[in-house]
Amino acid sequence: MPGGCAAWYNNVNILLINGRKYCFGGKGTIMIYMMSACLAGCACRYDGGSCTRDWAKAAARAKECVLCCPEQLGGLGTPREPAELTGDGMEVLRGGARVMTASGRDVTRSFLLGAYRALALARHNGVELAVLKSRSPSCGCAEVYDGTFSGALCGRDGVTAALLNHNGIECVTEDEFERRQNDGQERADTGN
């Protein structure tokens, strides 16, 4: 494609065409990716804030991505009490672990509802890639807080990330996606 530079990442192609970024799915169709809404500036974080990244905000404005906040989709209000997992997101999906707030409230049901609604949204939009906020009990990819509310991290997926991954949707953190974008931009600049 003229002016385009394809960069291959895992099973998803990210193509830069005239400075705009497109993701191509397995069948070669242009696809939209999903992104944690707080990255694009939505004030949906548990404390009422956001985790804004400028590139994420620009991508949302350009309608390159579908924004999603699984915890709000699950019916939780904002602000809300912080929550952590007692096991991996996949264990929560299978009923072997719970999602608990700092005061001991079991919010597993809301997290599961939000995860399944996020999956439905992803499927409806043909999403094959999700860019998810790191360390969140919903959105975290391979690293979340360990359930002790001590700030300690452990190698687990959040509930939504686990469900999306299990259903063939690649999940990456915002840092990983940023690294890929920079890598793709470098290739476009150098023509390699």
CA atoms within 13 A on the CB side of 102: 8
Q: Mention every residue, 6+ apart, whose C-beta is less than 8 A from residue 120.
A: none
Segment contacting ligand SF4 by CB under 6 A, of 5-13, 95-103, 121-129, 134-142? 134-142
Q: Mention every residue, 6+ apart, whose C-beta is less than 8 A from residue 115.
A: 70, 74, 89, 93, 138, 159, 160, 162, 163, 164
H-state helical runs in the chain: 54-61, 70-73, 89-93, 108-124, 159-166, 174-190
Segment contacting ligand SF4 by CB under 6 A, of 25-33, 37-45, 98-106, 122-130? 37-45
Q: Is residue 69 close enough to count as binding ligand SF4 by CB under 6 A?
A: yes
Q: Is residue 108 close enough to count as binding ligand SF4 by CB under 6 A?
A: no
Task: Give the total of residues touching ligand SF4 (CB under 6 A).
Answer: 12
Q: Which is nearer to ligand SF4, 57 or 187 (CB)?
A: 57
Q: Is residue 173 close enough to count as binding ligand SF4 by CB under 6 A?
A: no
Which residue shows structure tokens 């690294």?
179
Q: What is the identity of the amino acid at 58?
A: A
First to last CA, the chain: 14
Segment contacting ligand SF4 by CB under 6 A, of 8-16, 21-29, 69-77, 96-104? 69-77
Torsion angle (degrees, nearest 10) of CA 168, 45, 140, 62: 50
Q: Is residue 83 close enough to count as binding ligand SF4 by CB under 6 A?
A: no
Smallest gap from Cβ 73 to ligand SF4, in A, equals 8
Contacts of ligand SF4 in 139-158 (CB under 6 A): 139
Which of 137, 135, 131 lies closest to 174 in space, CA to CA? Answer: 131
Smallest gap from Cβ 15 to ligand SF4, in A, equals 26
Q: Is residue 110 close enough to count as binding ligand SF4 by CB under 6 A?
A: no
Q: Is residue 37 close enough to count as binding ligand SF4 by CB under 6 A?
A: yes
> Residue numbers of the site for ligand SF4 (CB under 6 A)?
36-38, 44-45, 69-71, 133, 136, 138-139
